[in-house]
Amino acid sequence: MTKSDARFEVGVVPSVGLLVLRAGVGMTMAIAHGWPKLERFMGPEPRFADPFGLGEVPSLALAIFGELVCGVLIALGLGTRLAAIPFAFTMLVAVFVAHAADPWSDKEHAFLFLVPAIALMITGPGRYSIDAWIASRRKR
């Protein structure tokens, strides 16, 4: 018998809910938003908004990290709380900087990714995650 890690002591049903949330949000972001940005990055002229004066290519690389890399990490439940930080930051930039002058109907898409990222920072990934598996292996 192993000691449990209090961070992952969540019931079965809530853990299934967190798994569905992580997989749905993480993979949707990675496939629908991160992957196309990676294709743009690999293209002949990677053009992208530069909201902080870092340059178009570094800004695009950061967006790829936040959307593709962190989206996959969140879906897997690997480094979930840490991965949710750049994921959420990317969505904050989308809502309040990139789409600042746009109507709410254009901002809501990014906002709907921001909310679960914040929720995962608070709740963690649940018991059906690589994070929980690693924690259980460390307790042995």
Domains contained in the chain, number: 1
- Measured distance CA(6)–CA(102) in Å, rounded: 43
- Measured distance CA(30)–CA(63) in Å, rounded: 11
Domain membership of residue 128 (yes or no) is yes
Domain membership of residue 104 (yes or no) is yes
Q: What is the pLDDT of residues 38-67, one digit of tens each?
A: 999 999 988 898 999 999 999 999 999 999
Domain membership of residue 6 (yes or no) is no
Domain membership of residue 3 (yes or no) is no
The whole model's pTM is what?
A: 0.90
- Measured distance CA(118)–CA(102) in Å, rounded: 23
Q: Which domain holds residue 25?
A: 12-138
Domain membership of residue 20 (yes or no) is yes
pLDDT band at residue 1 using 50, 70 and 90 as cut-offs: very low
Question: How many other CB atoms sit within 10 Å of the CB of residue 107?
Answer: 18
Domain membership of residue 1 (yes or no) is no
Domain membership of residue 4 (yes or no) is no
- Measured distance CA(74)–CA(55) in Å, rounded: 27
Domain membership of residue 93 (yes or no) is yes
